[in-house]
Structures are given as C-alpha cells and as structure tokens.
Amino acid sequence: MLTAIKLPCYGPNYTQHEDVIDFYETAIQYYQRFPTYAWLQQAGITPSNTTQVTLSDVQGALTKASTAIPYIGCTGPRYNETAAGKNSTDNGRTVIDEAWYYMYVYGRPQNGVAVHVNASGSSSSCATSKNALWYYQPTNSSLQSS
C-alpha cells in the first residue's frame, strides 16, 4: 500500500486512499509554487543543445526567485573527464537534471505553510567551472508519456 502521507495523522475519520489524493494535490501545489523552468527563463537561462551554462548562474536565478539556495543535481560525465575540462580538478557532473527546494513546513504539508531554507550540506553535484553545464532541450520522445 502506498502511504504517501502518514496515515495516523488522519485520525479515525480516514477514508481509504485519501492520503494518495492529498499527496498528489500537495505535489502539484508545490510544483506550481516553484516554477523552476519559468524562473530560469526569466533569468535568460533557456534549454539549449549548443550553449552551456554556469552553476552559479543557475543557482543564483533560482535562489533569487525562491528566496533560498536550492540543491541542483547533475548527471552525465564528470567535467574533468570531458575535452573541455581536461586537466581540471572540477569533478562535478555536467548535465542538469534536478532542482530540490528545502523548507520547514508548519502543520500539514497540504496547507502549504512553509518557510524556505537553504539546501543543507552540499548544494550541488554539478561542475562549478564556467559554462561547464548542459541544460538540454527536451526531445520529442522525452515529452511523450508512456
């Protein structure tokens, strides 16, 4: 059974699968609250298969918009394993694939009452060198649902 939100929190009036509905509604609420793609576009950072970006620019744009430092995750080759990063000590990954926002939530997450906080620990797995990151355009196949 999927327990998206802890069932004991619902008390004796719990209706079967109410937690699943609440989970998805809450996920959509927070997705709309953190429009990452729009924030990057407003900062002039758009997906490209020909132009690379810098982590500090991406994090700066998202920090300004969200009021706290997000975690930016990357996959792909390590920068020092690429032709551009040869002889570099920067071993961060080079393909942006995720952004995580941190917050303290007061009460039920579904209520949306939260204070944004900076990412804890490392704030990225990405390369930090100038123009080391790819923020690729999606392909048609990646936009299609299964």
Fill in the amino acid letter for 90: D
Arithmetic mean of pLDDT over the chain: 90
Q: Where are the alpha helices (DSSP H) in the chain?
A: 18-33, 36-42, 55-66, 140-143
* pLDDT at position 14 over 50: yes
CB 55 within 8 A of CB 40: no
Token couple for 130: 């100038």
69-101 confidence digits (pLDDT tens): 999 999 999 999 999 999 999 999 999 999 999
Q: How confident is the model at residue 3 (pLDDT cuts 50, 70, 90)?
A: very low
All structural domains of the chain with their residue ranges: 15-137
d(CA 42, CA 37): 9
* pLDDT at position 1 over 70: no
d(CA 76, CA 137): 15
36-71 confidence digits (pLDDT tens): 999 999 999 999 999 999 999 999 999 999 999 999
Architecture of the domain made up of 15-137: Alpha-Beta Complex (3.90)
